[in-house]
Amino acid sequence: MPTTEAAPAARTVADPAGDIPAGARRRRTFEQSNRRLKWAMLAPALLFVGLMIVFPLVFTADLSLTDAFGAVNAGKEHIGLRNFADALGDSRRFWPAVERTVVFTVGAVILETVLGLALAMLMRKPFRGMRWVRTVLIIPLLTTPVAIGILWLLILDPTNGIANHLLTGIGLPPQEFLGSVSQSLPTLMLIDVWQWTPMMTLLLLAGLTTLPEEPEEAALMDGASAWQRFRYVIMPMLGPTLATALVLRAVDALKTFDILYATKGPGGGSDFEVETLNVYAYGLTFDYQEYGLAAAVLVLFTLFIVGVVVLLRRRGGRKNA
């Protein structure tokens, strides 16, 4: 080993443009010897993802073109795009489900972003008991969604719940909450806001701690008000974090299932009042065995989510890879 010292040094010096002969050569051999290893390390995970995730997607796409229905081992035939025509022409279940998915996601995510940002700004500077407040914030994120659904069913019970007890206590009329068709979706949005605002807060807090302090101090010196500092100094710097947080949360909100199904049951209630695309596709598959149609709905749903991600990423401006 004559060159013990050279290798680490070469790594730090050899940048993409560098043509330091010895260092570059050594670096190349280092990477060559690693090429086989890196694929070996990656193979099991790639195989799993390919087999368990990519393959099912292809299968779903194929299934959406068939008339698969009923028993899983019954034959199926390719029928072209008829399932898509059926889904897109269905104004009784499909389009209302699209609308609910959009309303739920947009409403919940906007509230979560605004509240999450407010909480993050509130908790930004250290304070006593910070550890405990953070612990309180992560508990809703980690609690079983079904348990959260049950917990709110108890609190919001129209006749025996504490929520109506408190409302009438301050002179407001009692509400039906999850017991009514019109209030179910807004109520579930608020439950989602309760559960997921902490996620926004934590993501934004993580982003805030990485921001440099100088711009804000400079603004302070120049006499900028708290609001001006927030609006014109912090917000632009926080942009990329905010965009990423928004994408993550929007994707998860679009796919919300557990709490809707747990509180309202199959079909999202008697009037399908909380039936989002996810709940609809679930019902088609496992309650009605309409595999072909369900697959078509899922393909549309997946394209929809991908579209939202692309849109948000583009609007989020800067690439933050």
Partner 1 sequence: MSAPVTTAPSAPASAARATAVRRRRTRSLLRGTAITVVALVFALPLVWMVAAAFKTNVQVTDPSVGLWFRPTLDNFRAVIEAGQIVRSMGNSLLVGVISTLLSAVIAVPAAWAVGRFGMHRTGSIVLVARIVPAISLLVPWYYLFAQMGLVGSYTVLVLSHMFVSVPLILWIMIGFFAGLPVELEEAARTDGLSAFGAFWRISLPLAAPGTATASLLAFVFSWNNFMFALVFADESTQTVPVTLFNFISYASTDWGGLMAATTLITVPVVLAAVIGQKYLVAGLTSGASKG
Of the candidate spans 79-87, 156-164, 173-181, 182-190, the one that interacts with partner 1 by CB under 8 A turns out to be 156-164
| Sole binder of partner 1 in the list 33, 80, 173, 227 (CB under 8 A) | 33
Does 140 participate in binding partner 1 (rule CB under 8 A)? yes
Candidate list 161, 267, 268, 269; residue touching partner 1; CB under 8 A: 161
Any contact of residue 150 with partner 1 (CB under 8 A)?
A: yes
Please, which residue, 65 or 202, has the CB nearer to partner 1? 202
**Residue 156: phi, psi to the nearest 5?**
-95, 10
When binding is defined by CB under 8 A, the residue of 215, 285, 288, 312 that contacts partner 1 is 285
Taking the C-alpha atoms of residue 259 and residue 261, their distance in angstroms, rounded to an integer, is 6
The answer to whether 152 contacts partner 1 (rule: CB under 8 A) is yes
> CB-based contacts of 18: which residues, under 8 Å, 6+ apart?
24
Selection from 105, 143, 93, 68 nearest residue 266 by Cα: 93
Element (H, E) at 44: helix 21-49
Residue 151 found at the interface with partner 1 (CB under 8 A):
yes
Q: How many positions of this chain bind partner 1 (CB under 8 A)?
A: 113
Does 136 help bind partner 1 (rule: CB under 8 A)? Answer: yes
| Footprint (CB under 8 A) of partner 1, residues 166-195 | 166, 194
72 forms part of the interface with partner 1 (CB under 8 A): yes
Cα(92)–Cα(288) distance, integer angstroms: 16
Residue 46: other Cβ atoms inside 10 A: 12
Applying CB under 8 A, the span of 17-25, 105-113, 172-180, 280-288 interacting with partner 1 comes to 280-288
Binding status of residue 225 toward partner 1 by CB under 8 A: no
Q: Can you tell me which of 133, 190, 224, 312 binds partner 1, judged by CB under 8 A?
A: 133
Q: What is the crossing angle of helices 94-122 and 277-286, to 10°? A: 130
DSSP-derived secondary structure for 126-169: --TTHHHHHHHHHHHHHS-HHHHHHHHHHHT-TTT-HHHHHHHH
Q: Which stretch binds partner 1 (CB under 8 A): 14-22, 180-188, 197-205, 228-236?
A: 197-205
Determine, following the binding rule CB under 8 A, whether residue 237 of this chain makes contact with partner 1. Answer: no
258 binds partner 1 (CB under 8 A): yes
Which span sits near partner 1 by CB under 8 A: 81-89, 106-114, 176-184, 304-312? Answer: 304-312
Quickly tell me which residue has 């070469």 as its tokens.
Answer: 10
- The nearer residue to partner 1, 272 or 280, going by C-beta atoms, is 280
Q: Which stretch binds partner 1 (CB under 8 A): 90-98, 103-111, 171-179, 205-213?
A: 205-213
The residue within the footprint of partner 1, chosen from 116, 198, 268, 269 (CB under 8 A), is 198
3-state class of 262 per DSSP? Answer: helix
By CB under 8 A, residue 134 contacts partner 1: yes
Say how many CA atoms lie within 13 Å of 91 toward its Cβ.
0
Supply the minimum distance, in Å, between the C-beta of residue 98 and partner 1. Answer: 14
- Which residue, chain included where needed, has tokens 């934590």? 202
C-alpha to C-alpha distance for 40 and 34, rounded to whole angstroms: 10
Contacts of 165 (CB under 8 A, 6+ apart): none
Q: According to the binding rule CB under 8 A, does residue 109 interact with partner 1?
A: no
Counting contacts by CB under 8 A, is residue 85 touching partner 1?
no
3-state secondary structure 186-247: HHHHHHHHHHHHHHHHHHHHHHHHCCCCHHHHHHHHCCCCHHHHHHHHHHHHHHHHHHHHHH
Which residue is it, tokens 């991908």?
306
Is residue 312 a contact residue for partner 1 (CB under 8 A)?
no
